[in-house]
Amino acid sequence: MRRRAVVFMLLGPLLSGMLLATLVSAAWMLAGLPIPAKADTWFRVAQVPPTGQASYTSSAPDQVQFFLVVGNDSYNRGDRGGIGLGDAIHVIGVNPGAHAATIIDIPRDTSLGAGKINATLEQGGLAAMTSTVSGFVGVPIRFAMTTNFDDFINMVDEMGGIDLNIQQPMHDLENSGSDFEPGPQHVVGADALKFARDRHSFSEGDLRRTQNQGYLMIAALQTIQARNPGASGMLNLLATLGRHVVMENVSLTDLYRLGRLALTIDPNNIKNVVIPTGGGSGTNLSPGAGIDDLFADFRDDGILESHG
């Protein structure tokens, strides 16, 4: 019997709560899975302490947590080096006790005074982006993740695609390349990216595109949960992801706990809300009326009671 299977059998009766996270992570590493960044990098995960703190302490399993997910445009346009602009920006609040979460979608053209929020990633990196978004929303963001166009395609392909329910025609061949009719569809990486990038098919433009990106994350979670991977399947999925991730101040145990945390959330209990925006010069969008109330509703427990 393969060594990995033996480890799983021995640990099976003990897989519960935080003990599950600790023991399975240990088995995962003992079995030789994964070797971080062993293959092409798909995404980067960083633990970014808030200003004035050296590091985070481990969170209790029922503690509300906030995360930042950023899609960047590096290695896709050829005119810039480094990590690129943050063109998809989403803050996720997870409330494990309620098995619920909220995605706050921030349009890339949102202006914070000195310039667009998406430029912060290119100018200061993921840590600066996290600090800026954390201050803007008013929540302590523990983990931040970022990926670019090509790596997003590869990641979705390796996952086996995503099941979407497209709400209206999307025909933007000239720009994003989208070409979808309404209805349920299973999309692979290239088409998932087209769906996430299309803003020309909607009267709301980038606001609708930003909301669709949040929906895409919910749909990905629904697709994974529908496959009912179980403990061993979750390990295999994370082992695959682990070979393609660069981790900054993040352990394999942290990565496993993030995956397990995601699977505790009912996708039907996830709200996906775009921040209100106002006018601005050019494509700059000022924060709109009601944004303070939205953030206050979000920051106390990661759940929106009076919004969405």
Three-state helix/strand/coil letters over 287-303: ECCCHHHHHHHHHCCCC
Band (pLDDT 50/70/90 cuts) for residue 296 is very high
Q: Which range has the worst mean pLDDT, 40-54, 164-178, 260-274?
A: 40-54
In the chain, what percentage of residues exceed pLDDT 70? 74
How much is the pLDDT for 61? Answer: 57
CATH of the domain at 274: 3.40.630.190
Per the model's pLDDT, the better-predicted residue between 21 and 224 turns out to be 224
- In-domain check, residue 41: yes
Best-predicted range by mean pLDDT among 16-30, 183-197, 259-273?
A: 183-197
Say which residues have a Cβ less than 8 Å from residue 106's Cβ, sequence separation at least 6.
89, 90, 91, 117, 133, 136, 210, 275
Q: Which range has the worst mean pLDDT, 25-39, 90-104, 142-156, 162-176?
A: 25-39
Of 212, 223, 233, the closest CA to residue 156 belongs to 223
pLDDT of 60 > 60? The answer is no
- In-domain check, residue 1: no
Residue in this structure with the two tokens 């433009």, named with its chain if needed? 205
How much is the pLDDT for 227? Answer: 79
Cβ atoms of residues 66 and 274 within 8 Å: no
Task: Dump pLDDT digits (tens) for 121-146.
Answer: 988 888 899 999 999 999 999 899 99
- In-domain check, residue 20: yes
Task: Dump pLDDT digits (tens) for 79-125.
Answer: 444 578 888 999 999 998 898 999 999 999 998 877 889 999 988 88
Residue 161's domain comprises: 10-299
Say which residues have a Cβ less than 8 Å from residue 42's Cβ, sequence separation at least 6.
147, 151, 152, 154, 155, 158, 241, 244, 245
- Return d(Cα 255, Cα 105) in angstroms, integer: 23
Query: How many domains in the chain?
Result: 1
Neighbours of 23 (CB within 10 A): 16
Task: Please count the helices (runs of H) and the strands (runs of E) in the chain.
Answer: 9, 11
First to last CA, the chain: 51
Rounded-to-5 percentages of helix, strand, coil across the chain = 40, 20, 35
How much is the pLDDT for 234? Answer: 65
What is the average pLDDT across 40-63?
62
Residues found in the chain: 308
Per the model's pLDDT, the better-predicted residue between 195 and 20 turns out to be 195
What's the whole-number average pLDDT of the chain? Answer: 79
